Amino acid sequence: MKGHIHILGICGTFMGGIALLARELGYRVTGSDASVYPPMSTQLRAAGIDLMEGYEAEHLHPRPDCVVVGNAMTRGNPAVEYMLNAGLTYTSGPQWLAEHLLHDKWVLAVSGTHGKTTTSSLLAWILEYAGMPPGFLIGGVPGNFGVSARLGATDFFVVEADEYDTAFFDKRSKFVHYRPRTLAINNLEFDHADIFDDLGAIQRQFHHLVRCVPGEGLIVHQHQVPAIDDTLAMGCWSATASFGIGADCGADWRGQLLEADGSSFSLQRGEELAVQVKWPYCGRHNVENALAAIAAAHHVGVMPDIAVAALAEFSGVKRRLELIGSVADIAVYDDFAHHPTAIATTLQGLRARAGEGRVIALVEPRSNTMRMGQHREQLARATREADQVFWFQPPAMDWSLDSVIADSPVPATLVTDLDELVNAVVAQGRPGDQIVIMSNGSFGGVHQKLLARLQAENASD
């Protein structure tokens, strides 16, 4: 054993990934969390990691060699206070990752407001398919791998590069620790209002990341996005490659939609002949994610034809428009919607796929930024591609969703009770409907409640 680390906040996707990587490296790993729950708890226990419920000082006995502190930890937390008073060695998750794993890797980092998890998963799968099995740490569970993190068998490491802050003692964005050689910037919008005052504050963190990319590295970015262009204009010392949709859009890597739902598109680089892509995913945003992954993979030697072949076998990511069940020709999807743009692009893709069927959205505005009301003006129009929207008002929300209902461009209903929500959706459901449940949390288990009711109603018919 290399030593003993204890992780505070171990059941979060990122910190759980750190735990899995540390265990694979040969460390003894223990951890604490406020609630220890599947699927992460199942992954961790299967790896031989001891989990403890709550944050007690006793969890840090015997004294670990290092405490790895998750960014949800705050002063006043009993374990944090004991750690500081006892003079224990501690660090953040991103710093631990940088020092113990990334320092001798070719890091491919995927950043941006949206699409990081899907693009990271695509990139890791393309490298795997090309015979270059990478290590990775992703904020979700890619279907092709079944785990959120692994060491891999090459010097390549794919990391989802999050702009959220690192720890209570390090307020820089997580991604400044990663020092990528290949950096993808999918997009850039205002988000995380709980830690950033405005878009400019986020751009400054992104520019810290840009400063870390070596001159021989590559920055892949979406074409003609003013927030990205302005960030790069602050100073860029690396080669860049742009991606965009449209045969004449002017990007280095171009996609052209061959089907309205994005399930088929052509790929062209420079003046090369276009290659046709067919894959089982929908939405313009997913085509953009694919272009970013293909361009990043090309930087480490994967030819476009190999990347395109990999796309056809991509199994998606849990909670990214994941089909979780179908009853009586009513499809139910789970989607990790955290921002109005993410809601809008997902509904656009599903609308194009649904044909004559209805798109019904169940939305819980659960992210810190949405709960603070920062995106209230954008929320209503983000659902314009749906046929019907049910908005759930979380109990701890700082503002009322009444204004969103009033401004909705489509029929919208406000609910505050989950059973009421399930009853209303089941009463309206009919064959051909595409129901998408949108939240970055558990949404009170409404997914399984809805499927169970649909099955019961169908059995009684």
Q: How far apart are CA 396 and CA 403, in angstroms?
A: 17
The answer to whether residue 358 is domain-embedded is: yes
If asked whether residues 184 and 330 sit together in one domain, one would say no
Please, which pLDDT band fits residue 338 given cuts at 50, 70 and 90?
low
- Check residue 218 and give its pLDDT: 98
- Which of the listed residues 29, 60, 92 is the one where a domain comes to its end? 92
- Check residue 8 and give its pLDDT: 97
Mean pLDDT score of the chain:
89
- Check residue 305 and give its pLDDT: 93
The answer to whether residue 438 is domain-embedded is: yes
Percentage of the chain exceeding pLDDT 70? 96
The answer to whether residue 316 is domain-embedded is: no
Residue 360 has a CB neighbour count (10 Å cut-off) of 22
- Check residue 440 and give its pLDDT: 76
- Check residue 265 and give its pLDDT: 93
Beta bridge partner(s), residue 69: 8, 92
If asked whether residues 258 and 130 sit together in one domain, one would say yes
Q: Name the more confident of 409 and 460.
A: 409
If asked whether residues 115 and 30 sit together in one domain, one would say no
- Check residue 222 and give its pLDDT: 95
Of the CA atoms within 13 Å of residue 196, those in its CB half-sphere come to 20
Is the pLDDT confidence value at 367 over 80? no
If asked whether residues 50 and 108 sit together in one domain, one would say no
Q: The CATH number of the domain where 188 resides is what?
A: 3.40.1190.10
Mean pLDDT for the stretch of residues 439-456? 84
If asked whether residues 48 and 175 sit together in one domain, one would say no
Is the preceding omega at residue 62 within 30 degrees of 0, hence cis?
yes
Mean pLDDT for the stretch of residues 301-313? 95
The first and second tokens of residue 180, run together, are 């990528």
Q: Name the more confident of 6 and 274.
A: 6
- Write the single-letter amino acid at 206: F
- Write the single-letter amino acid at 282: C
Mean pLDDT for the stretch of residues 316-344? 81
Q: What is the pLDDT of residues 275-294, one digit of tens each?
A: 999 888 877 888 999 999 99
Q: How far apart are CA 327 and CA 455, in angstroms?
A: 6
Percentage of the chain exceeding pLDDT 90? 54
User: What is residue 258's DSSP assignment?
Assistant: S
- Check residue 65 and give its pLDDT: 97
The answer to whether residue 82 is domain-embedded is: yes
Is the pLDDT confidence value at 375 over 70? no
- Check residue 347 and give its pLDDT: 86
Cα dihedral sign, 418-424-427-431: negative
- Check residue 160 and give its pLDDT: 96
If asked whether residues 368 and 454 sit together in one domain, one would say yes
CB 343 within 8 A of CB 383: yes
Q: Residue written as tokens 């558990």?
A: 442
Please, which pLDDT band fits residue 41 given cuts at 50, 70 and 90?
confident
Q: Work out whether strand 239-245 and strand 253-257 pair parallel, antiparallel, or are unpaired.
A: parallel
Please, which pLDDT band fits residue 113 given cuts at 50, 70 and 90?
confident
Q: The CATH number of the domain where 406 resides is what?
A: 3.90.190.20
Beta bridge partner(s), residue 432: none
The answer to whether residue 317 is domain-embedded is: no
How many domains are there within the chain? 3
Q: What is the pLDDT of residues 396-412, one digit of tens each?
A: 777 788 888 888 888 88
If asked whether residues 231 and 344 sit together in one domain, one would say no
Domain that holds residue 125: 101-311
Nearest to 282 by CA among 352, 211, 379: 352
